[in-house]
Amino acid sequence: MPSKSSLTLRQQVGQLMIMGFDGADVSARLRTMLATFQPGGVILFKRNIDAATQTHALLRSVEKASTIPLFRCVDMEGGTVDRFRDVVAPIPSAAEVARTGSTKLFRKHGKVIGRQLRALGFNTDFAPCVDLRLPESIDVLGPRTVSSDPKEIVRYAREFLGGLRDARILGCGKHFPGLGGAALDSHNALPAIARSWDEVWNQDLVPYRELRRQFPFVMVAHVSYPKITGGNTPASLSKKWITGVLRERIRYLGLVVSDDLDMGGVLNSVSVEEAAVATLKAGSDVFLICQKEENVWRAYEAVYKYAERNSSFARMVARKAKRVIAFKTGSRAVSSRMAPPPTPDKVDLMRRRVWEFAEDVRLSSVASLAECASLMEPGHVDQEFAG
* Catalytic residue ranges: 187, 259
Residue 228 makes CB contacts below 8 A (sequence gap 6+) with 195, 196, 197, 200
Q: What is the DSSP letter of 10?
A: H
| Dihedrals phi, psi of 72, to nearest 5 degrees | -100, 100
Q: Give dist(CA 32, CA 293) in Å, integer.
A: 12
Cβ pair 171, 128 in contact under 8 A: yes
Q: Give dist(CA 46, CA 18) in Å, integer.
A: 17
Given the DSSP bridges, would you call strands 217-220 and 172-176 parallel, antiparallel or unpaired?
parallel
Tell me the CA end-to-end span of the chain in Å, nearest whole number.
70
Q: At 103, is the secondary structure helix, strand, or coil?
A: helix
Question: CA angle at residue 141 from 101 to 132, to 5 degrees?
Answer: 55
Cβ pair 46, 39 in contact under 8 A: no
Q: Give dist(CA 316, CA 227) in Å, integer.
A: 30
Instruction: For residue 50, count other CB atoms closer than 10 A to its CB.
Output: 14
Exposed / middle / buried, residue 152 (Cβ in 10 Å: 0-12, 13-18, 19+): middle
Q: What is the DSSP letter of 354?
A: H
Q: Give dist(CA 49, CA 68) in Å, integer.
A: 23
